[in-house]
């Protein structure tokens, strides 16, 4: 019989008592709206972004990074936005907004500063590769879901702090998955919390749902976005980057491959390409630390 800890960590209790709920930068939300607007222009985007110097600097640095391989050095935001594609602009915006949260240390999850960031970026890069392999039509939505899928961990870490050790010990002693142990000790898991945060940040319901589903085999098998996100997460864990305490017992569910029409060989190919893409993006990934 597993000992039952006396903790009242219902979803309502956590959100009611959270002193410092993370916020999503309004500038980025506004910029994403301009990108969503079929009549939105580059000039409008510049108008929104220019008031955030840190974000502007990030956009320029990324535009000039090896990843995008532009033929010349770009020094102004308008040119950068003109040269980058819509998808790339979205990715840079989301990554810039998420980085301050995802680069925090998560002691309860035995994650060093950068671990969650590395795992999130690896998941997002793998998601891009899987989107291409499966010809998934909405790559930016999948990228965003993958980058932010573990955002709930920062809230649980902020709220329960050192007591996450209890989860880890329980998971190891009872051979539970980390998510099962979260449910057992807190009545909630980081996927549910993450989904709540994304809804509060006004992200589309599809993204919140995929994040909610990413550890639940019965749920993630229900739709393509959730399946692709779940597989991106598993492959990122298998890649071994920044996995922390959550990294054990993550195997590929064969149902995922069947649903997505992928083979084991496809997975090997995807991991190989992901390593190359991660290497290529390393300056970007480490550059967000600042």
Q: Which residues bind Fe ion (CB under 5 A)?
A: 150, 233
DSSP 252: -
CB of 215 to Fe ion, least distance (A): 6
Q: For Fe ion, give the closer residue by CB, 213 or 233.
A: 233
Burial, 204: exposed, middle or buried (Cβ in 10 Å; 0-12, 13-18, 19+)? middle
Contacts of 254 by beta carbon, 8 Å cutoff, 6+ apart = none
- Give the whole-angstrom CA distance, residue 123 versus residue 128: 9
52 vs 104, beta carbon nearer Fe ion: 104
The 3-state secondary structure of 174-222, one letter per residue: HCCCHHHHHHHHHCCCHHHHHHHHHHHCCCCHHHHHHHHHCCCHHHHCC
C-alpha distances in Å from residue 177, one per residue of 184, 194, 199:
10, 18, 26
Residue closer to Fe ion (CB basis): 140 or 152: 152
Tell me the closest approach of the beta carbon of residue 190 to Fe ion, in angstroms.
6
- Residue (41 or 172) nearer to Fe ion, CB: 172
CB nearer Fe ion, residue 49 or residue 231: 231
Indicate the residue among 45 and 198 with the shorter CB distance to Fe ion: 198
Distance set, CA 142 to CA 95, 107, 179, 259 (Å): 13, 28, 22, 16
Q: Are 151 and 144 in contact (CB under 8 A)?
A: no
φ, ψ dihedrals at 136, nearest 5°? -75, 130
Least Å from the CB of residue 3 to Fe ion? 25
Q: How far is the CB of 182 from Fe ion (least distance, A)?
A: 10
- Rounded least distance, CB 25 to Fe ion, Å: 23
Task: State the nearest-atom distance from the C-beta of 246 to Fe ion, in Å.
Answer: 6
Min CB(151)–Fe ion separation in Å: 9
Q: Is 157 or 233 the residue whose CB approaches Fe ion more closely?
A: 233
Count other Cβ atoms within 10 Å, centred on residue 277. 18
């Amino acid at each position: 019989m597993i000992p039952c800890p006396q903790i009242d960590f219902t979803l309502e209790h956590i959100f009611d008592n959270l002193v410092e709920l993370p916020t999503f930068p309004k500038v980025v939300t506004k910029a994403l709206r301009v990108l969503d607007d079929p009549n939105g222009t580059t000039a409008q985007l510049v108008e929104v972004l220019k008031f955030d110097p840190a974000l502007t600097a990030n956009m320029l640095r990324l535009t000039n990074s090896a990843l995008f391989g532009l033929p010349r050095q770009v020094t102004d935001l308008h040119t950068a936005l003109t040269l980058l594609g819509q998808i790339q602009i979205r990715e840079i915006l989301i990554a810039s907004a998420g980085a301050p949260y995802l680069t925090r240390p998560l002691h309860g999850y035995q994650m060093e500063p950068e671990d969650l960031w590395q795992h999130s970026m690896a998941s997002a890069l793998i998601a891009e590769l899987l989107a291409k392999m499966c010809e998934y039509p909405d790559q930016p939505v999948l990228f965003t879901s993958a980058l932010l899928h573990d955002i709930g961990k920062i809230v649980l870490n902020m709220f329960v702090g050192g007591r996450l050790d209890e989860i880890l010990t329980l998971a190891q002693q009872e051979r539970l998955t980390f998510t099962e142990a979260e449910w057992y000790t807190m009545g909630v898991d980081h996927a549910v919390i993450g989904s709540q945060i994304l809804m509060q940040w006004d992200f589309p319901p599809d993204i919140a749902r995929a994040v909610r589903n990413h550890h639940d085999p019965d749920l993630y098998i229900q739709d393509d976005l959730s399946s692709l996100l779940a597989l991106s997460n598993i492959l990122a864990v298998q890649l071994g980057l920044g996995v922390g305490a959550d990294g054990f017992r993550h195997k590929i569910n064969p149902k995922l491959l069947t649903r997505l029409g992928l083979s084991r060989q496809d997975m090997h190919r995807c991991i190989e390409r992901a390593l190359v893409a991660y290497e290529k993006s390393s300056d970007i990934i480490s550059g967000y630390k600042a």
